[in-house]
Structure 1
Amino acid sequence: MGKTISCSVLLSLISCFYLLFATALDTITPSKSIKDPEFIISQNGTFRLGFFSLANSSNRYVGILQIETGLSKTLLGFSTYLVVLNGKTEILWSSKNVTNTAPNVTTAHLSDLGNLVLSNGDDEGSSLWQSFQHPSNAFIETMEISTDVKKGRKVEIKSWKSHDDPSDGNFSFGIEPFNIPEFVIWNNNQLYFRSGPWNGNMFIGLILPTVAFSWFSVVADNRQQTFFIGYEDSNHSMLTYCELDSQGEFSERRWDVEKGNWIKSYSINHTDCDVYGKCGEFGMSNSTKRPICSCLKGFKPRNAEEWSRGNWSSGCFRTTPLQCQRDNNNGSGAGQSDDGFLEMKMMNVPAFPDRSSIVNGECKDQCLKNCSCVAYAYDSSIGCMMWSGDLIDVKESSRGVDLYIRLPASELDKGRSSKVIVITTVIAGIVVITISALFLRCRILKHKGRNKRRTQIKDKFHGENIGESSIGVKLQQLPLFNFEELATATNNFHPQEKLGQGGFGPVYKGTLDDGKEIAVKRLSKASGQGLEEFMNEVVVISKLQHRNLVKLFGCCVEAEEKMLVYEFMPNKSLDSFLFDPVKQKLLDWRKRFNIIEGISRGLLYLHRDSRLKIIHRDLKASNVLLDQKLNPKISDFGIARIFGGDENQANTKRVVGTYGYMSPEYAMHGRFSEKSDVFSYGVLLLEIVGGRRNTSFYNKDDLSLLGYAWKLWREGDICGIVDKVILESETYSRNGNEKEIWRCIHIGLLCVQEFAKDRPTMPTIASMLNNEISDPNTPKQPAFTEAPLMSHDVEDRVLLDDVTLTNLDSR
């Protein structure tokens, strides 16, 4: 039961080995050996050294653990120094650089502190090697983490590679003196996290509960240049230890007697804001704000484009030079009176401060005298801290000290007279009162308008007749979001949150108060689609539940605002992968075939398996969304039609859809059915295999991808049709996917035949994809291979392939 605390050396595994062991319970000598599962125990019975295994591994490891928390098995040994041997007495590990002039009396003793000490057998008991100086991923109350600057020695704990692999991982935890001691976490020798300076009682700016890490104490011997982190008071009544996990999280764990297990009492380094230098030079982070990074006052982003994308590593630069810098450039000397300081309350100060023993009142003057000084702070236990050069890793904190940033006078908004302040205050009061009154009136009117709007939409839904049946949806059955809620979730529909743009309008990413991520589809006032398409999508998709159809969470109807709220798809739409020269390399054949199958399952559900037969009418790459694992989900049901009763085909005078995906009978005569969706599916299938848009062939010998595929099909040239990314991938040549790809091209050509009666149904397509129909029909010449669909010029064609068109009369 419990968890092994590897507070000592953690050695790699061997399948069968033994170790030299003495007669004493807590000591190993050269005279005897033990085999797994034998062990030694400290004299007080607290610590045990032996072998153990991890949950998902058959390997055996050496470790020291506290007996109160559970037992493991292990093996250890030594000759003139400490060694681990296998069955052939070959050395698998040794205490490096440890020698002994008296091999017969060397001992390895497991002390009551949990420290395995290798020493000579002399009276002085000099230590040759200690396990406490080579810790693994855990830190217990009897240990110390230290740095000896003079000798260049460090004792630091290292993370495991993974939960079940105790070899050294990427992260390490230790103490760095810098100019003021701090504890830090390194990631592959790169600074990853810093605690802030130690002031004798706490790490400045490190937010911890009162009881968390209350035992932490830092001891600094500045003369000897040695620094220690350890327990201030040992409390053996409470079992406690700290651990650095494989993800770089440093946490405190305590033994819960009732649960019989270790529980995490607190941890640090668990937000993006905690990562060292997240916001770059002169950037400031705050985990409670969105975005978490901002520039200090008087600075602006060095790379505005990257900054807007959420990449803040380039940092910020000063917009107006300091007066002392301008004076130095002019040769007139530093003008300290023209620069001032911006006070920032409760900050975790930047990295690498210079320390001065001067008192608080002199910090400002001292910094002003030095033009390279850009900031200062004061702590009563440390004294003045000053910074020159770039400020890195500035964080707002609920604990910390006041930080003063040096700025030119023009940035400090000084010089306003008291009269201006009084006038501004009075005007602001009047404005606030006026706005409050208008806001209250607007809320009353909006509430009335919202109720009226809901009633209108409810009546519209209940009166909607489709085919032979009346299809209605009660808004009460679908969650309603208010405008303010969605505006907050999308950061007021900020351009940075915009996922894309469709015929309906823009789509934004949002995060609700409960942390759920959503996609908000907002009807644009300039959109060709309106209330009818909005209601149609709510009617259709609210009744559908399938893993290959996007899920609708709810809608918002207020005044002129109409919005739909969907589940968030992190990989956006299929076209953003399929037609992107970089991202398409992520789509090997197996992923593409899974996407082809998923789309077919979604269409099969719409046509045959759902309670209502639904024709999508606008199936295309941009209307197929991809989840985190690249599973496809069909979206955008704004122009879908529900068939009632035994209805199989319908006519319309209003042709809507996307050219390049529309079947000929629908585009020319306004007739649509399951087979018109099948045609769109065939075009999409060929695009997925070929990695090219159907309309990308205009101005070439072939009028479309369909014509191109048809020509190469007749010539038996599969390589000419298939995307080069697939042909060049290792999985293609290794798995022999030629037959499966050829079958998909065959199915695609069957789907795009000119006459609807020749095309297969979705159940037949599903059977062909699964190879249940091994000998499908021979395809006939596809539609639109002799002449273009319409007489638009080339630029119009490419545009029309991406946009859903409405209000077009059929011919």
Structure 2
Amino acid sequence: MGKYRDIFSLSFLVLFNILFILPACCASNDTITPSQPLKVGQTLISAGQIFELGFFSPDNSSGLYVGIWYKIGPDRRIVWVANKGNALLASDLASRLIISSDGNLKVEDGKQNSVWSTNASVSSNSFIAVLQDDGNFILKDNLLGATLWESFSDPSDTLVATMPLGCCSRSGQKLFLTAWQSENDPAPGKFVVGLSDDKPAQLFTWNGTKPYWRSGPWAGWKFIGAVVKDYGYGNEASLTQNNQRGTPSLTFTLFNKPYISNLVISPTGVMKVMHKEGQNEPWKVHWAAIQTPCDVYGACGPFSACSSSGSPTCECLKGFFPLSNEEWSKGNWTSGCLRRTELICTTNSSNLTSKASKPDGFWKLIQMKLPDHHLFLYNEDAQGCSQWCLSNCSCLAYAYPDGIGCMVWVTELVDIRQLSYGGEDLYLRVANSELGVKRRYTEVIISCVAIAVGFLLVVSICRVQRWKAKRRVMHTDTHLNEQNSETRNWCTIKGFRKNCRVVGLLLSGTTREDIKEGPASARGSSSELSMIDINVIKIATNNFSEANKLGEGGFGAVYKGKLEDGQQIAVKRLSSHAGQGMEEFKNEVILVSKLQHRNLVRLLGCCIQGLEKIVILEYLKNRSLDTFLFDRTKRLELDWAKRFSIIQGIARGLLYLHRDSCLRIIHRDLKASNILLDDDMNPKISDFGLARTFRVTQELANTRRVVGTFGYMSPEYAMSGQFSEKSDVYSFGVLLLEIVSSKKNTGFGYHEKYLNLLGCAWQLWNECKALELLDQSLADSCTPTEVKRCIQIGLLCVQDHAADRPTMSNVVLMLSSSESEMELPQPRQPTFTFQNLQESDRFQSAIRLCNGSINEISISMVQGR
């Protein structure tokens, strides 16, 4: 009987252990108790296996921290750090996270010195700390269940789902995200994210105390100034007003999948929404707050609007003019604009003229990011909002966005942006005289249309008379023909006859079908441009077969062809869906047909038939420079002697365009892919679709349509639309450095601290290590002094200010002279160099413009290529 009693007692003990002791052990996997601290090498894992807490060291860091990260997936993403401002030594393996005798969580080093504590007010003696599935690490009273402290009340750089931002911690402090000092240092950086006290609230990024980015007010489903393609955020975000403290609170739940999404502020001040598609998928950036110069707060100064697709980037609002023309001409718009005509209510009524006494009005601006510093009038409807603003002299503008209501502005209008989609209507108060401009524009347009119609009528009559005259001339004798030769079209001059016929067709809109031209074999001399039948081109290219395709660009495709007489040609076919259009096609035909130089590609003919617009060029079997320069194998075919010859040839070709040709031409798209190589590797500049002609006395021009290739555009052209021959000099400088290094300017991975090739070249030059820029495969074939001279010339060409850059005539002279014959000036640091140029708003804007772009994509700030 005693034997059975012992067996029963043993069985009961085992059952008790299974039912009570083992669950307690399992539960401790996400819990710390006063008797169970967390040591280095141990982790807590939330019940749903979503978050993990433990000690970690960032890459390349000697510091040790306590943090929380996502458990899901192979990549560890830190979302919270306890001792972010006070690191432990990574070698201190005796460090612990404990619940101390006073009930607070503490991080202690191996000598039991506290480096971080929760400092909560506690009155109990039974505590536990639990890591929850939402990522919140809480310290609570184990008897009453009351939460005494939570990690959500002490944010780091990441906002996870259900975590509040704005209001408020248990101590009454507002909640902010604080960026890390760097990617490997969790110490608090200078960028902070939080909600403003405005009604409605706005989301801000501050650089210290200075605003860096602003979302615009909350409209119930979105921030109306944040450029997001989706119409709203739906259930992804919600913002509520705290009734007790009157401050807003934002929670974030992107895609209704809170365990795979978050919002983070980077050390450089870029706010990002990150998400995972699945457990083993990588983190992706869904949206980022700083992508263009216009995203930076107040980039254009007061009473000026920023447009990422505009040229210049900043423009004064209606009725305003730049405060400093000198600063604006240099691309510095932060001084903003001043009002041109005083408002009626700010003028002394006794001095008003009858014209000036007309009441002020409102100018409507659409698709705008509304200005900062608004007042919210909750009791006004749309009509009342307009009347309130008009009747209050201090009111400068008003808006009535859906979901918000009446917003008015009584201080200077700052941080305004023209959005590409979305945005709101802004009604700007202007003097009555400014409102009349719109009517004058209408009158001017009507007058221009009438003049154009009259001009076309005159041209039509002249063409009919000319046709009749031509028929009479055909019946006159030879003597009469000679006698009247000077009065006929100047296009009959030898060498220009066919050129002029082509130009006339292009300008008049006549197609190839309207004329009869001889066969392709009857093409004229090198100074003549022939119209070639489309059927001849189809035969030559095997009906534009893929096998004959040489490449494709913004204009369309290029094909290799062979005419009946055996001559090989390159056929450039304008696509109907191309970014380039008739203007670029006319440019190429008109300009190149008149240019003859050994370093320019030769134009043989063209075709305008139906929808087809085709340019026929000489065929160069070695194709373009970039196919050699940026290919690991083919670049070995370019020794230093060939590269230096290519550099000199390009320089001579540009000098011809700028100074020596019958037309003064700015190429505007000089890059490696537009340099073709003949059989002997001689360079030939091609693709004149974006070129522009200058008068002999003209030095500078402006355009609202900035086109070209990112990485090669000069700062003044990219930022404000100003171009000159110095714009080509800048592009040449970039190209020269690429030829020396075999590396692209952007997409450049030489070292993490360099933004691009220019940054690398400048740093090495500044450290007297210029030869390290050289492609190492050229070490045995180059002349070091010649290489250093080329790098110095390249850096002189890419200087910030156009006036500091040499002309192409000087560049050619520099390249042909030795150091003893001609001493070169020292270059200045170019703008687009280092990623960490935080001290200058201008540099920050330029860097934001450059990030995320690809070197070989031709872009336009107004119209894509």
For the criterion TM > 0.5, the same-fold answer is yes
Q: CA deviation at 1:113?
A: 2.4
Mapped pair 1:203 → 2:223: yes
Distance 1:326 1:481, change over 3 A: farther
Where do 1:59-138 residues align within 5 Å? 59-70=63-74, 75-79=96-100, 80=102, 81-96=104-119, 98-102=120-124, 104-123=125-144, 125-138=145-158
The answer to which of 369-378 and 410-419 deviates more is 410-419
Mapped pair 1:217 → 2:238: yes
Q: CA deviation at 1:518?
A: 6.3
Distance 1:351 1:591, change over 3 A: closer
Q: 1:186 aligns with which of 206, 222, 226?
A: 206
* 1:571/1:625 contact within 8 Å kept: no
Distance 1:260 1:399 in 2: 31
String of CA shifts for 1:245-304, please: whole Å, max 9, x gaps.
Answer: 111111122224386321222222221101111111101101111221111111111111
Q: CA RMSD in A?
A: 5.5
* 2:43/2:52 contact within 8 Å kept: yes
* 1:519/1:569 contact within 8 Å kept: no
> Could you tell me which residue of structure 2 aligns to residue 48 of structure 1?
52
> Could you tell me which residue of structure 1 aligns to residue 389 of structure 2?
367
> Could you tell me which residue of structure 1 aligns to residue 376 of structure 2?
355
> Could you tell me which residue of structure 1 aligns to residue 176 of structure 2?
156
Distance 2:72 2:790 in 1: 63
Q: CA deviation at 1:168?
A: 1.1
* 1:375/1:405 contact within 8 Å kept: yes
> Could you tell me which residue of structure 1 aligns to residue 322 of structure 2?
301
Q: 1:406 aligns with which of 420, 425, 429?
A: 429
Q: 1:625 aligns with which of 795, 804, 807?
A: 795
Find the residue that maps to 1:83 and give its secondary structure.
strand
- The alignment covers a number of residue pairs equal to 559
Find the residue that maps to 2:108 and give its secondary structure.
strand
* 1:47/1:64 contact within 8 Å kept: yes
> Could you tell me which residue of structure 2 aligns to residue 386 of structure 1?
408
* 1:354/1:385 contact within 8 Å kept: yes
String of CA shifts for 1:623-662, please: whole Å, max 9, x gaps.
Answer: 56358899xxx99886999xxxxxxxxxxxxxxx79xx9x
Distance 1:223 1:118 in 2: 24
Distance 2:260 2:429 in 1: 48
* 2:197/2:248 contact within 8 Å kept: yes
Distance 1:326 1:86, change over 3 A: same
Distance 2:353 2:599 in 1: 74
> Could you tell me which residue of structure 2 aligns to residue 36 of structure 1?
40
Instruction: In structure 2, list runs of 5 or more residues that go unmatched.
Output: 1-24, 79-94, 460-502, 509-582, 603-617, 619-644, 650-675, 718-724, 746-755, 829-865
* 2:153/2:169 contact within 8 Å kept: no
Find the residue that maps to 2:194 and give its secondary structure.
strand
Distance 1:143 1:224, change over 3 A: same
Distance 1:237 1:56 in 2: 30
Distance 1:361 1:627 in 2: 57
Q: CA deviation at 1:331?
A: 10
* 2:260/2:276 contact within 8 Å kept: yes
> Could you tell me which residue of structure 2 aligns to residue 512 of structure 1?
708
> Could you tell me which residue of structure 1 aligns to residue 306 of structure 2?
285
> Could you tell me which residue of structure 1 aligns to residue 83 of structure 2?
none
Distance 1:373 1:95, change over 3 A: same
Q: CA deviation at 1:345?
A: 0.8
Distance 1:593 1:248, change over 3 A: closer
> Could you tell me which residue of structure 2 aligns to residue 480 of structure 1?
685
Distance 1:518 1:223 in 2: 55
Find the residue that maps to 1:405 and give its secondary structure.
strand
Mapped pair 1:547 → 2:740: yes
Where do 1:228-627 residues align within 5 Å? 228-231=249-252, 235-236=256-257, 239-257=260-278, 260-327=281-348, 338-357=359-378, 358-397=380-419, 398-413=421-436, 416=439, 422-423=446-447, 425-427=449-451, 440-441=507-508, 447=589, 450-454=592-596, 478-487=683-692, 495=700, 512-513=708-709, 515-517=711-713, 547=740, 591=766, 593-594=768-769, 609=781, 623=793, 625-626=795-796
Distance 1:449 1:387, change over 3 A: closer
String of CA shifts for 1:161-188, please: whole Å, max 9, x gaps.
Answer: 1111111111111111323211111111
> Could you tell me which residue of structure 2 aligns to residue 15 of structure 1?
none
The one-letter amino acid paired with 1:378 is Y
Find the residue that maps to 1:677 and give its secondary structure.
coil
Find the residue that maps to 2:135 and give its secondary structure.
coil
Find the residue that maps to 1:403 and give its secondary structure.
strand
Distance 1:234 1:621 in 2: 51
Distance 1:369 1:289 in 2: 34
Instruction: In structure 1, list runs of 5 or more residues that go unmatched.
Output: 1-20, 463-469, 499-509, 522-526, 528-533, 553-567, 575-585, 642-656, 662-673, 692-811
Distance 2:716 2:401 in 1: 48
> Could you tell me which residue of structure 1 aligns to residue 821 of structure 2?
680
> Could you tell me which residue of structure 2 aligns to residue 709 of structure 1?
none
Q: CA deviation at 1:130?
A: 1.1
Find the residue that maps to 1:392 and give its secondary structure.
coil
Distance 2:68 2:761 in 1: 52
Distance 2:735 2:826 in 1: 29
The one-letter amino acid paired with 2:138 is V
Q: 2:192 aligns with which of 172, 181, 189?
A: 172
The one-letter amino acid paired with 1:307 is W
Q: CA deviation at 1:201?
A: 1.6
Distance 1:197 1:92 in 2: 39
Q: CA deviation at 1:377?
A: 0.6
Distance 2:397 2:107 in 1: 54
Distance 1:285 1:638 in 2: 37
Find the residue that maps to 2:305 and give its secondary structure.
strand
Distance 1:106 1:327, change over 3 A: same
Distance 1:551 1:242 in 2: 33
Distance 1:367 1:413 in 2: 21
Distance 1:382 1:110 in 2: 39
> Could you tell me which residue of structure 1 aligns to residue 31 of structure 2?
27
Distance 1:496 1:598, change over 3 A: farther
Distance 1:222 1:273, change over 3 A: farther
> Could you tell me which residue of structure 2 aligns to residue 226 of structure 1?
247
The one-letter amino acid paired with 2:276 is W
Distance 1:128 1:240 in 2: 27
String of CA shifts for 1:534-554, please: whole Å, max 9, x gaps.
Answer: 9xxx9xx999996289999xx
Distance 1:518 1:118, change over 3 A: same
* 1:324/1:336 contact within 8 Å kept: no
Distance 2:786 2:57 in 1: 58
The one-letter amino acid paired with 1:440 is L
Distance 1:622 1:171 in 2: 37
